[in-house]
Amino acid sequence: MLLLGMVSMASPIPGGTLLLAGGAVLLICASPWFRQCLQYARVRISLFDRMMSWLESKMGERVGGVLKLTRPGYQPKPGDHGVR
């Protein structure tokens, strides 16, 4: 999904953002390492952090809740999306 999203971002066909968000959500839920990498990227790259915050607000509670786990300094509680 991530690769298709990256290719779609360069093409005139819309929907690349949705594919990127969907792929990121799957990886965030499956891999704590990937979650930490996204947190690091959000701390270092302010534009990326703003884009992720925008996606959190637009994607609804399910997807936005998972993306929220990558906020810098966010401490997930047991029962949050993707947390065991």
| Average pLDDT in the chain | 78
pLDDT at 73: 79
Predicted confidence (pLDDT) at residue 8 exceeds the cutoff of 90 = no
Q: What is the pLDDT of residues 22-63, one digit of tens each?
A: 888 888 888 889 888 889 988 998 888 888 888 888 878 877
In the chain, where the domains are located: 2-68
How far is residue 34 CA from its own chain's centroid? 10
Distance of alpha carbon 22 from alpha carbon 43, whole angstroms? 21
Distance of alpha carbon 60 from alpha carbon 78, whole angstroms? 20
pLDDT at 14: 67
Angle formed by the axes of helices 60-68 and 16-30, to 10°? 60
Distance of alpha carbon 45 from alpha carbon 15, whole angstroms? 23
- Coil, strand, or helix at residue 14? coil
